[in-house]
Amino acid sequence: MGDCILEHQGQILLRMARETIGEKLGIAGTRRRDDDTAFLNNKQGLFVTLHKQGALRGCIGSIEPVKPLGESICNNALFAAFSDTRFSPLTVEEFHEVDIEVSLLSVPQPLEFTTPEELVAQLKPGIHGVILKKGGAGATFLPQVWEQLPGCEDFLGRLCMKAGLSSTAWKKERLAVHTYEVQCFAEVP
């Protein structure tokens, strides 16, 4: 993966995400000043994922590198906590029960394939995040989703369903598929 950041910079992003959510909930805290913040001006795709007792509790991000990391981490932390339509907004009581994960994305690359077998052969389970599109329908799974769906056929089927397509659309229809990799930072539960 290209634009990697250092471990302590990933910890800064995690802290910023938690502080932003805490402030929105009215939980008093102090923002720590860091010397190494120039990287926050870099533009890179970024997802913020919340887990509660190991289960997904919210996940929102941007695939394309359109905003600086400093802005993107705060926006996506708030969206993951309060605007993921699959979940009710995070509560004050849940704040200390959630673990935060930040995924920095490489620039998505198109996959060229003519058969379902060629598509499957090019995927790297556990490494590739996958974006699938057909017309106005589209969805992505981060590479971490391979942990729950390790088989390519199940992974692609569920991704098609997330996009609003049939679970076999990846076998029968012409889809645009892109892959990306992530650099992941996670709070220790």
Is residue 76 within 8 A of residue 13, CB to CB? The reply is: no
- What pLDDT does residue 37 have? 87
- What pLDDT does residue 30 have? 64
Assess if CATH 3.30.700.20 describes domain 7-106.
yes
Rounded to whole angstroms, how far apart are CA atoms 21 and 173? 41
- What pLDDT does residue 35 have? 72
Q: Which residues of the chain have pLDDT under 50?
A: none
Which amino acid is it at 106? S
- What pLDDT does residue 36 have? 78
**Mutual orientation of helices 7-24 and 69-82 as an angle, nearest 10°?**
50
Is residue 73 within 8 A of residue 13, CB to CB? The reply is: yes
Residue 89's Cβ-side half-sphere holds a number of Cα atoms within 13 Å equal to 10
Rounded to whole angstroms, how far apart are CA atoms 81 and 94? 10
Rounded to whole angstroms, how far apart are CA atoms 50 and 101? 6
Is residue 48 within 8 A of residue 101, CB to CB? The reply is: yes
- What pLDDT does residue 1 have? 56
Give domain limits for the chain.
Answer: 7-106, 109-181
Rounded to whole angstroms, how far apart are CA atoms 148 and 45? 23
Please provide the CATH number assigned to the domain covering 109-181.
3.30.1490.150
Rounded to whole angstroms, how far apart are CA atoms 66 and 43? 6
- What pLDDT does residue 121 have? 96
| Helix residue ranges, H only, the chain | 7-24, 69-82, 92-95, 116-122, 152-162, 169-172
pLDDT digits (tens, 9 = 90+) for 60-92: 999 999 999 999 999 999 999 999 999 999 999
Q: Which residues pair with residue 49 across a beta bridge?
A: 59, 101
Question: Residue 60 is encoded by which pair of tokens?
Answer: 């929102």
- What pLDDT does residue 148 have? 92
